[in-house]
Amino acid sequence: MPKLHNETDLEYKQRVIDPKSASFCGAKWYNATIWLGSGQTTSCHHPLPHKVEITDVLANPKALHNTPKKKSERAQMQCGERPAGCEYCWKIEDIGRDNISDRVYKTKIYSDEDLNRAHDLPSEADVDLQTLEIAFDRTCQFACSYCNPAFSSAWVRDINQHGAYVDLESDGRNHFTHAHDSSQLYKLGEINPYVEAFFQWWESDLHRTLKELRLTGGEPLMSGDTWRLLDWFQKHDTAVQFALNSNLGAKDDLIDRMIVASKGIKNFHLYTSNEAVGPQAEYIRDGMDWQVWANNVEKVLQSGNITGFHMMCTINALCLDSLDTFLDIVLQWKQEWGASFPTFTLNILRFPSFQSPLVLPDHIRTGYRQRLQTWYDQNHTNNHLHEMELNQLQRLIDYLDVVKTPHAGAAEQHILQRDFKRFYSQYDQRPGKNFTETFPALADWYNSL
């Protein structure tokens, strides 16, 4: 039994988590993201990914998740020590005694019995996952400005064609300076033992224990392994919820094939990303044709067997110029198809930090905040908007108001603004890109940098 009805998150933590230990987190046992192209995994999105040894996987496919590192972190959590990689949660908890960190949210989705079992298991035991996100490879036809070559083959092509980005002082991890060959260990057409291990585990145990499988990329519709998996779903009666992250910009035949495949799956959730409109969206998400994307949204709503449809908005400095118009369009879809078709989340971009909304000067950011406030005031009583969506919008409005500098002061913002200009001057070398023509409201400020 997960969280009890009416129980607060704090009460849940005190009832289920605290008696186990001061650092227990169910995600360490039952959740994973696995990048099969690079052979890496992590428990949730906060700890950095780590390598899965190929020799371990060849001997035991469950090693894709049950790595020596995760096992030793489970042992730490069983006795109340804090794994260093989970710093994100410890920072939140150390703000104050009752602060609720993500480990509570990521634990409460599992049953009390399963959590008790995890806590009592010997730490060296293999565990079968309940929630899993996987990427087969990084094949993608988009090269969005906030993505990088580790996740997009179009970004790799761009770097190979135009060269590495230079002089980005705040890009400490060098996202834009090389092709990230280690993200794709095996060429297309080559057998990838990590992928083979996944299918082996999937067919033996995983499809029985997993409650939710989410496929990400790259663009999963462009990966042959996605269709291999979808074929499995067509042939088997399963309760596993299948979720797909798609940019919905793939060729018509792939979108149509996905729609057909959705009809053979009981519980199919589709996630897509966008946060702006028209040429501005096409600028941010290089490779996108806005009208094609919007048509595909409608096509899927009309013809797909979709049980959940979610827009993931990555809130960056550039999308604020048309975010309110974008939300109008989302609201129209909701009015036509129902409050949850689609839902949206507003995820404030933190990295690359020079693309964060906080890079904008006060007067521009304030103007955007006021527009969002107006949208909120006009629409907050609309019953097609979920409480979660209104909360996220309010959180963004507050963020644009209160959080003035990304880190510790004006000097930092000065560096980020310089990187913003340096990045988009280089990005503008791509065909059809012109920053000042696409964002006239930002042109004076941009030219002054």
Give the binding site for ligand SF4 (CB under 6 A): 25, 27-28, 43-44, 46-47, 86, 88-89, 102-103, 106
Nearest approach, Cβ of 88 to ligand SF4 (angstroms)?
Answer: 5
Measured from the CB atom, is 43 or 78 closer to ligand SF4? 43
Measured from the CB atom, is 85 or 193 closer to ligand SF4? 85
Nearest approach, Cβ of 34 to ligand SF4 (angstroms)?
Answer: 14
Nearest approach, Cβ of 30 to ligand SF4 (angstroms)?
Answer: 10
* Total Cβ atoms within 10 A of residue 391: 11
**Residue 149, token pair as written in the block:** 């070559």
Residues 17-37, buried b or exposed e (16+ Cβ, 10 A)? beebbebbbbbbbbbbbbbbb
Measured from the CB atom, is 37 or 47 closer to ligand SF4? 47
Measured from the CB atom, is 111 or 234 closer to ligand SF4? 111
Residue nearest to ligand SF4 (CB): 86
Nearest approach, Cβ of 313 to ligand SF4 (angstroms)?
Answer: 22
Measured from the CB atom, is 23 or 353 closer to ligand SF4? 23
Measured from the CB atom, is 101 or 223 closer to ligand SF4? 101
Nearest approach, Cβ of 40 to ligand SF4 (angstroms)?
Answer: 15
| C-alpha closest to that of 268 among 235, 232, 241, 229 | 241
Report CA-CA distances (Å) from 128 to 23, 38, 208, 298: 21, 21, 9, 37
Nearest approach, Cβ of 214 to ligand SF4 (angstroms)?
Answer: 16
| Under 8 Å between Cβ of 324 and 338 | no
| Under 8 Å between Cβ of 193 and 57 | yes
| Under 8 Å between Cβ of 223 and 254 | no
Quickly list DSSP for 296-342: HHHHHHHHS--SEEEEEEEE-TTGGGTHHHHHHHHHHHHHHH-TTTT
Residues in Cβ contact with 154 at an 8 Å cutoff, skipping those fewer than 6 apart: 140, 141, 142, 143, 286, 287
